[in-house]
Structure 1
Amino acid sequence: MENENQSAQNTVTFSVTKDALYPNFKIGNSIPKDSTADQTALNTSESSAGIDLEAIKKIEEKLKLTFLSEKDAENHVCMANNPEVRDEFKDIFDIKDLLDFSYAVLHSPSYLEKYKEVSKMDCFQIPYPNDSYHFWKLVNLGTKLRDLNLREAPSDETHNHEAVEILKRIAEIKVE
C-alpha cells in the first residue's frame, strides 16, 4: 500500500478526457461560456469535469492555490475569478482554469512531440503545472486559443494570424 501511495505522489501527469475538453463540440457550433449543464453532469464525488479529485488536490498543493468547485462558485465568492485580478494575486482556480491550462498544453510543441498521436487519444496525460506563474500564463493562452477556435472560422485570415501568435507564446513556455 505504501508503494502505491508513493507511486501516486510521484506521478508527473494527470488525465483529462477528450469529452471534458470538447463537450458536445461540433465544427461550426460554439459552446456557451456559461454552460454549466455539461460541466455539472460531469461533476461527481470522485472527479470534476473528468479530472480526478486526487489530481486536483496535488495541483492545489504544488501551486499553493485553492480549488473552487462549482458548488463554491455558486456562493459568489467575492472577486474569486474576476478577470481584473492580476495572476500573481490569484489564490484560487476552478475547473475552467484546469481545462484551459490543459488546452494550452495540448497545443505545446513539446507535448505534441512527445505524444505524436494526440488526435487519436480519448484521454490526455497532462503534466502537472510546475508553478503558479506558468500555470496562469498557460491558462490565459489556453482561454484565448479556445475562445478563438470557437468564435471564428479556421480559414479566416485574422483567425490564422491570432492563432499563430498564441501558439508562439505557448511554445515559449516549457511544458514537460
Structure 2
Amino acid sequence: MKFFILGVTILVVAVPEGLPLAVTLGLAYSVKKMMRDNNLVRHLNACETMGNATTICSDKTGTLTTNRMTVVQSYICGETYNITPKFESLPRQVADLILYSISINCSYTSNLGNKTECALLGFILDLGKSYQVIRDEVPEESFHRVYTFNSARKSMSTVIL
C-alpha cells in the first residue's frame, strides 16, 4: 500500500510539471507529420485543429482560406478605392445606382447566394446601407425577366416592370 501511495503522489506531482512539455512535443510531432504531407503549419496550436480536418480549402497558392469572398478594392467614377468608400463621399446618382444594381441583381432566394453575390452584398453593408430596404421596395414579383450571369456576356440583368 505504501508503494501505491508513493506512486500516486509522484504521478500527481509530475503530471502538472510535464504536461506542457508533453503537449508541445505532441504538437511538434504533428507539425513534422504534416510537413511530410506538404502542409506547412506556422503555429503549433493550429495542429490540433488541422489534425481533425477532413477537407482543407485553399487558394491557388496553397494558402488556407475561409471560403468567403470580400470586396477589397473598387473603381468608382475614375477613382480607385483600396478601402470601402463612404456612401456619402460618392456622387449621389452613382451611389444610388450601385446600391440598387447590387441589391436587385443578387439572388433574392437566400442570403447565401453564390460567393460573388455575397461579397457584393457585403460591400453594400460596408457602405453603410441595407440591401434589404431596396429589396422590400422592389419585390421579386415585379421582375419581368431575369437574365442570370453568363460568362460570354459577363453580366447579369434584371428587367423590372
Q: What TM-score comes out, normalization by structure 2 length?
A: 0.24
Structure number with greater CO (CA < 8 Å, separation at least 6) is 1
